[in-house]
Amino acid sequence: MEENKKHNAQSDVNVNENTKNEQLEHFREDPKDQYMTTDQGVRISHTDDSLKAGSRGPTLMEDFHFREKMTHLDHESIPERVVHARGSGAHGYFQPYDDTLKEFTKAKFLTNPNTRTPVFVRFSTVVGSRGSADTVRDVRGFAAKFYTEEGNYDLVGNNIPVFFIQDANKFADLVHSIKPDPDNEMPQASAAHDTFWDFISLMPESMHMIMWVLSDRAIPRSFRMMDGFGVHTFRLINEAGKASFVKFHWRSTLGAHSLVWDEAQKLGGKDPDWLRRDLWNAIDMGDYPEFELCVQIVPEEDEFKYDFDLLDATKIIPEELVPLRPVGKMVLNRNPDNFFAETEQVAFHPGNLVPGIDVTNDPLLQGRLFSYLDTQLNRFNSSNFTEVPINRPVCPVHNHHGAGFMRQTVNKGKVNYWPNSLGGGEPKMASESEGGYVHYMEKIDGHKIRARSESFNDHYSQATLFWNSMTEPEKKHIVQAAHFELGKVESKEIRVRMLGHFSKISNEFAERVAKGIGVDIPKNFDQKSTGNYEDNEASKQMKKGKSVKTSDRVSMEKNKIETAKSRQVAILLEDGFKYDEVMQVKRALMEAGARVKFVSKFHGKRKATNGDEIETDKSHITTASIMYDALYIPDGKESNEAMLNEGDAIHFINEAFKHGKAIATSGNGIYLLQKAVVLGVDFADKEGTKIVTSKGVVTAGNEARAMDFVASFIDAIKKHRHWDREEKTMVPA
């Protein structure tokens, strides 16, 4: 009887499990041999383009497929942002240089040099979650909120001037492909996996953006040392109602500088907060980040003057064709008081506009105008997120919105509608002359169609321009990045497709990539079979417009700003160093704007040869060479002999050398460098008067002039990296 009871009980369990499994199977979806549908089961005929009024017209609100697709993406992550989840923010101000932009716009914050407009800026990575590392290879968000006297204006861009796709209807697909795989949630914050490159290999329009992502732009040294771009073409409107096309650029006054890939990976483990810590510390120490706002202005009558479409977000306007016009400067001078209340809750939207600035029919921008607001509704679970302090305008707010979660405004009176007579017709409408926002009266004439303008069909020319504009070290890094990214792709078919695209960009580039990823360049590659590409008459007509084959301005190396300001310098020492020399070097570095940290085996005080002591800032176990821009090793026989027997010190030196950083030493420090296997450089005679600078390594004899030695070291620091040390035979670490 007992056995029967046990058997029956087990049978009941099995029946229950089977019933449950059958119930669960109803929710499992297998796309094999199925048509794509909406959530209502309606079959989809086209999912690459949004519904527009003409192929170059604005996106229509009635596009239920686009809105459903974008709404799902916007609401996929609770509560963090789906993209740009990990960010850092800072307060500051923007001030125009003069009023010369009045010719093009009536936006007061851009034309009144006597006004400092408060700003809040949020820098971010795009792909990773809030818990990912700062230094991953990724696009960086660069979003600025201007609290103007006419209302809030948001310039929401990236540190790369173009984007992966041309139409917002593909944004959900892009994000899904680059995010961790849905079955195993791996890899985090990385593009180096099959699904991303599968998508990209089928999207020729992404090739220009891919070149930027593989470049050093995608691993910035600091948020303070990267440029920003509005990406899209916008409109400026002047007092007379005349419009001009405009692209917005942020230029860092420190210049655009990068990490090397080895550093970026190591920093992800040593200090995943590297970029946000750098930003916070710089502001805390008074090294305020500064960015110059520049614009490229194109008259409306020149809209079709170039060999690309101004509305295509995968294209730049080369500065050789339309030079940058400096407008003003932004200074970030205050850290947030509370990360959640400010940096996390700040809500941006490219549709937050002020009189004098308007949007265009760029189909990627048109989609963002819907997506950003929808995203905030999901994150805050209320339309009242504008009442959170960080999002509030500084000018008065009056409307008939009311109730709902998070409502803080106490509205007086019994009228909450328009028109009204009981409330005296207030709040009243503002005419254009009274500052009322009036949309630009663009004529729209086209069929309602789900298609892309034929003028968007050139997907390779600007990718080729980018490659041809690079220096050899930059090209080398792009190839190495491709080796890493595509080397992680298991599918041989995907790697072959990508080489086919690369061959359309540059045979040299494709051949160099092929050597590292185990496949050959395909013969007779047909890009038409990979995605939305058709080399038709309209795109051929565009190619007859103005163009350039190279653009030096896209190269970081060719536009390097040489400065030691805010650079981090490690001084490596142990007991027995020469105190006077150290203090003289430190003073000179600080006067040049650099920041100095003393590093030794252990925390505590280190005694000099004259008995003076220095308190160390970091120990080897709490820091690494990857956290500094340069290295100085002071003279002192006892100190240098001690470090010669420390593996961490030797590794510190070799790693700094490997990463191309400025290194300086004198006297007995020269012996340490030689023994630490620093290769392929010339050294000064440690007993002589000569100062030798060889590939970023500065050495001086005991009798050399100290100030000349420091000046040479500072000059080496200003160059950021010394790429001529990258040869394999010279890299011991």
Q: Tens digit of pLDDT for each residue in 295-341?
A: 999 999 999 999 999 999 999 999 999 999 999 999 999 999 999 99
Pair 569, 589: CB distance under 8 Å: yes
pLDDT value of position 19:
55
* pLDDT over 60 (residue 543): yes
Find how far residue 263's CA is from the centre of its chain.
Answer: 17
Pair 692, 684: CB distance under 8 Å: yes
Please state which of the ranges 36-50, 214-228, 278-292, 331-345 shows the lowest mean pLDDT.
36-50
Start-to-end Cα distance in the chain: 74
Q: Tens digit of pLDDT for each residue in 458-515?
A: 999 999 999 999 999 999 999 999 999 999 999 999 999 999 999 999 999 999 999 9
Which residue of the set 65, 84, 91, 349 is catalytic? Answer: 84
Instruction: Using the structure block, give the residue that is written with the tokens 């499990």.
Output: 17
Residue 528's pLDDT band (boundaries 50, 70, 90)?
Answer: low
Q: Tens digit of pLDDT for each residue in 618-677?
A: 999 999 999 999 999 999 999 999 999 999 999 999 999 999 999 999 999 999 999 887
Which residue of the set 65, 152, 158, 352 is catalytic? Answer: 158
Catalytic residue status for 18: no
Whole-prediction pTM value? 0.91
Question: Could you write out the DSSP letters of every residue in 144-195?
Answer: EEEEETTEEEEEEEESSSS-S-SSGGGHHHHHHHHSPPTTT--STT---SHH
* pLDDT over 60 (residue 533): no
* pLDDT over 90 (residue 429): no
State whether residue 328 is helix, strand or coil.
strand
pLDDT value of position 13:
46
State whether residue 279 is helix, strand or coil.
helix
Q: Tens digit of pLDDT for each residue in 90-113?
A: 999 999 999 999 999 999 999 999
* pLDDT over 70 (residue 27): no
Catalytic residue status for 468: no
Please state which of the ranges 15-29, 126-140, 703-717 shows the lowest mean pLDDT.
15-29
Helices 194-201 + 171-178 axis angle, to 10: 150
Q: Tens digit of pLDDT for each residue in 58-101?
A: 999 889 889 988 887 887 766 889 999 999 999 999 999 999 99
State whether residue 114 is helix, strand or coil.
coil
Higher pLDDT, 110 or 46: 110
pLDDT value of position 21:
53
User: What burial class does residue 149 get, using C-beta atoms within 10 Å of its C-beta: 0-12 exposed, 13-18 middle, 19+ buried?
Assistant: middle
Residue 728's pLDDT band (boundaries 50, 70, 90)?
Answer: low
- Token duo for residue 77: 């992550």
pLDDT value of position 572:
98
Residue 44's pLDDT band (boundaries 50, 70, 90)?
Answer: confident
Find how far residue 470's CA is from the centre of its chain.
Answer: 19
* pLDDT over 80 (residue 26): no
Q: Which domains does the chain have, with CATH numbers?
A: 58-391 (2.40.180.10), 472-530 (1.20.1370.20), 562-730 (3.40.50.880)
pLDDT value of position 17:
54
Please state which of the ranges 246-255, 418-427, 723-732 shows the lowest mean pLDDT.
723-732
The 10 Å Cβ neighbour count of residue 408 is 9
State whether residue 560 is helix, strand or coil.
coil
Q: Tens digit of pLDDT for each residue in 137-153?
A: 999 999 999 999 999 99
pLDDT value of position 104:
98
Q: Tens digit of pLDDT for each residue in 230-278?
A: 999 999 999 999 999 999 999 999 999 999 999 999 999 999 999 999 9
Residue 213's pLDDT band (boundaries 50, 70, 90)?
Answer: very high
pLDDT value of position 656:
96
Instruction: Using the structure block, give the residue that is written with the tokens 């027995």.
Output: 576
- C-alpha 181/C-alpha 524 separation (Å) is 32
pLDDT value of position 546:
87
- What percentage of residues in the chain have a pLDDT greater than 90? 77
* pLDDT over 70 (residue 534): no
Please state which of the ranges 74-83, 115-124, 164-173, 206-215 shows the lowest mean pLDDT.
74-83
Higher pLDDT, 536 or 79: 79
Residue 445's pLDDT band (boundaries 50, 70, 90)?
Answer: confident
* pLDDT over 80 (residue 14): no
* pLDDT over 50 (residue 20): no
Residue in 697, 660, 700 with CA at minimum distance from that of residue 681: 697
pLDDT value of position 697:
96
pLDDT value of position 74:
85
Higher pLDDT, 729 or 14: 729
pLDDT value of position 538:
53
- C-alpha 540/C-alpha 32 separation (Å) is 39
Mean pLDDT of the chain: 92
Residue 723's pLDDT band (boundaries 50, 70, 90)?
Answer: very high
